[in-house]
Amino acid sequence: MRIVAAVDRSDFADLVVGMVRRLADTDTTEVLLLNVAPREADMLGRQLSRKEVEEPVPEELRDRRELLDRLAGELGASGIACSTLLVRGLPAQTIIQEASRWSADLIVVGSQGRGMLYRRMLGSVSEEVLAARRFPVLVVPGQVDA
């Protein structure tokens, strides 16, 4: 099974990885830990294409790289094959594109459980990924019973 686990800088990253650990079979599961950073303006004034963040990582994105490395280390210590990707783009769109590029069987995302007004004004990444209906999606709530 191939799982794309979308993590951000929030406390929910640990919950998402915990759920992936529960789902993963150490012999057959591959995990892509994905963090989507804000788009970066190009010479036309806005980012038009996918931009993978490579070394050296810009200062403003180092915490994202460190998060991915820490989480990958935890999964690796559990015997789960894991790779990481830090990319700039629109969060929901990029998650779906990377899952497609990676031939994922499942996307795992966190949900902060914000109210309807917040979602109407700013949107919800987990809801947008679900609405695309291109992959099975597991949404991990902000609090998970053990």
Where do the structural domains in the chain lie, given as residue ranges? 2-140
Residue 116 to residue 125: CA distance in whole angstroms: 13
Record the pTM.
0.83
Nearest CA to 91 among 36, 19, 129, 25?
36
The answer to whether 29 touches 23, Cβ cutoff 8 Å, is yes
* Full DSSP string of 76-111: HHTT-EEEEEEEES-HHHHHHHHHHHTT-SEEEEE-
Confirm if 16 and 129 have CB atoms less than 8 A apart. no
Topology at the third CATH level for domain 2-140: Rossmann fold (3.40.50)
Along the 146 residues of the chain, how does pLDDT read in single tens digits? 999 999 987 778 999 999 999 999 888 999 999 999 987 766 666 656 677 788 888 899 999 999 999 999 999 999 999 999 999 988 899 999 999 999 999 999 987 655 444 344 334 788 888 777 788 999 888 765 54
pLDDT score recorded for residue 90: 87
Collect all residues with Cβ–Cβ distance below 8 Å to 65 and sequence separation of at least 6. Answer: 53, 57, 86
